[in-house]
Amino acid sequence: MLWMTLDGKGPLYLQVYRAMRKAILEGKLAPGAGLPSTRALADGLGISRNTVILAYGQLQAEGYLTTRPASGTSVAAELPEQSASVAGHGTPLVPQAHVPLVHLSPYAQRLLAVVGPRGLVWGFRRRGLPYDFRYGEPAYEDVPLATWCRLLERRARRASLRDLAYGPPEGAMDLRQALCEYLQRARGVVCTPERLLIVAGSQQALDLTARVLVEPGARVLIEEPHYRGAAVVFQAAGAALEPVPVDAEGLRVAELRAPGKSGRLIYVTPSHQFPTGGVMPLARRLELLAWAERANAFIFEDDYDSEYRYTGRPVEALQGLDRTGRVIYAGTFSKLLFPALRLGYLVLPEALVRPFTMAKAVADTGSATFEQRVLADFIRAGHFERHLRRSRTRNAARRTTTLEAIERYCGDRVEVAGANAGLHVLLWLPGSRTSEISALLARAAAVGVGVYSIMPYYLKPPPTAGLLLGYTSLTEEQIRQGIQRLASVIR
C-alpha cells in the first residue's frame, strides 16, 4: 500500500496527482519504483478507481510514470527537465489539469517573439487619468447611437429565417453596393461590388493580405515610422521588413530606388501618414504607382482616417489613380463609427478577388451579416455622411483648441506635426532623447495626464523623443487643462 495524504483542495483526481507528484519530486518514490494498481490504490484510499485512473493518466502524460504490459505502472527512470529543475529548488510547480506539451508552429513562435510580453493592445487607455490624450479611437459621444439603435431594431423586427443563415464570405451585397457608391463619391475610388470584400476591420484586411501575398523570407516595404499592427502581421508571416523613411509629405518614394529596397508588397498610409501625419502629394503618388508597375509589386493603401481633413481640399485615394491593378485599398469603420462594430473593407484588383475571398471564407466563413445590413441602411439613408460632417466640425474644434493650448503653454519647447488631418497630433521634443521618454510619461501620469510615445512605431528608435496626443476623447476644457499640466512636466 502507498501512503499519501490528500490536501482536500479541488477534484479528488488532482489531489491524488499532487500527492504522488510531490512524492516523486522529493525522492520518496525513486525512479523505476513500482506503483500499486489503480484498483489497489483506490481501495486503499477509499475512492473511485476512475479517480485514480485520471491521476495516473495525467502523471503519465507529463512523463512522471510509465506503463508496460505485464509490468504494471512505475515511476519514470528519467524525470522531465522542468520537474527536475523545480525539484532542485524544493518547490513543486502548481499543476494544471491536462496540460499537454505544446509544440508551436513557426508562425506562432514568430508572432509571440514580435508582440513580446505585453502583447498587442488596441484602444490605449490609462485608467484614472482625467486628461488622457489616447489616440486611435473616435469620439464616442459623437456617434448617433439612437439612430443606429433604431435601424438595428427595424432590421431585427423584419428579420426572416433566411437572415439567420450564413452570408457570403465576401459580405452582404447591399452593404457592398452602398459602400461602392460612397467610396466613388467621397474618396474617388474605382470600385464595383464584385471587387469589394467586407472584413472584420483593417487588421483582418492586413492578415488576409499577408496570407495571400507574403511567404516566409519575402521582403515587405513599410513606412518608417509605421502602424505597428501592420508590422506585426507581416513579421508573423515571416516577412523581412524593409523600412522606407517618411517626411512631411509621407513616404519618400525616391528612396525606393536605393539598393536593397526591393519587394513585392509595400504598405503605405498616403492620405494621412501614421503616425507623423504627412499627406502624399500627387507627384509622389504617381511615382509610387510607376514604381509598383516596374517592380511588379502591390501597394496596400491603408485609408484609416482620411475623412478627417481640416485644411485644404480633400485628397483622393491613391487607388483612384491606379490603372494597372496594383493597389489594395483598405478602409475601416472603427475610426468613423465605433471599433466594436468590427467592420472594414478591401477594394481589390481583379486578379486578387478570388484568392482573397477564399482566404476570407477559410478564416471565418464571412463577417456578421446582420450588422452589415444595418450599416447599409445607415449609409443609404444619409446618416453616415451627416455623422461625418458633424464629427469633422467637432473634431476641428478640438484640434484648434489643442494647437492653441500647445502654442500657449509649450511654446517653442515642442514642434507640432500632422495637425492638418486625422484624430491626433505629434509633438516632437527637440533636445530630448528617446531614452528619457519613459520618465517623462511617468511624470505626466503623476499629474493626471496620459500621453504616448512614438517609439513603438519605429523599427529603429528616432534620435528625438516624440509624443502622440489624441484629442477626440476630451472636451475642449479638458484639452486646455491637460496640455497646461503637460507643459509643466516638459519644462
Omega before residue 245 within 30° of 0, cis: no
Buried b (16+ CB within 10 A) or exposed e, 333-361: bbbbbebebbbbbbbbbeebbeebbebbe
- Measured CA to CA in angstroms, residue 111 lies from 28, 234, 400, 474 at distances of 42, 10, 40, 34
- Residue 211 pLDDT grade (very low, low, confident, very high; cuts 50, 70, 90): very high
Element containing residue 65 per DSSP (H, E): strand 65-68
What tens digit of pLDDT does each residue of 315-350 get? 789 999 999 999 999 999 998 999 999 999 999 999
Q: Are 220 and 199 in contact (CB under 8 A)?
A: no
| Banded pLDDT at 401 (limits 50, 70, 90) | very high
SS3 assignment, position 416? strand
Does domain 114-139+388-490 bear CATH number 3.40.718.10? Answer: no
Q: Which of 33-37, 306-310, 454-458, 482-486 has the lowest mean pLDDT?
A: 306-310
* Residue-level pLDDT at 200: 94
pTM for the whole structure: 0.78
Domain 12-89 bears CATH identifier 1.10.10.10: yes
pLDDT of residue 85: 43
pLDDT above 90 as % of the chain: 55
Output the pLDDT for position 77.
81
- pLDDT at 420 exceeding the cut of 60: yes
Enumerate residues 6+ apart whose C-beta is below 8 A from 228.
120, 456, 457
Please give the DSSP secondary-structure letter assigned to residue 439.
H
What is the rounded distance in angstroms from the CA atom of residue 40 to the CA atom of residue 38?
Answer: 6
Listed by start position, the domains of the chain span 12-89, 114-139+388-490, 143-385
Q: What is the pLDDT, as a whole number, of residue 86?
A: 43
Residue 243 pLDDT class (50, 70, 90 cuts) = very high
CA distance 302 to 186: 16
Q: Which CATH code is given to the segment(s) 143-385?
A: 3.40.640.10
The pLDDT mean for the chain works out to 87
* Mean of pLDDT values over 150-169: 89
Q: Is 245 helix (H, G, I), strand (E, B) or coil?
A: strand
Tell me the pLDDT tens digit for each residue of 34-80: 888 888 888 888 888 888 888 888 888 778 888 877 678 888 887 76
Span 423-441, pLDDT tens digits: 889 999 998 888 888 889 9
Domains 114-139+388-490 and 143-385 share a fold: no
- Residue 314 pLDDT class (50, 70, 90 cuts): low
Q: Which of the four pLDDT bands, split at 50, 70 and 90, describes residue 144?
A: very high
> pLDDT band at 125, cuts 50/70/90?
low
DSSP category for residue 309 = B
Sign of the alpha-carbon torsion through 453, 456, 461, 462 = negative
The Cα–Cα gap between 52 and 369 comes to 49
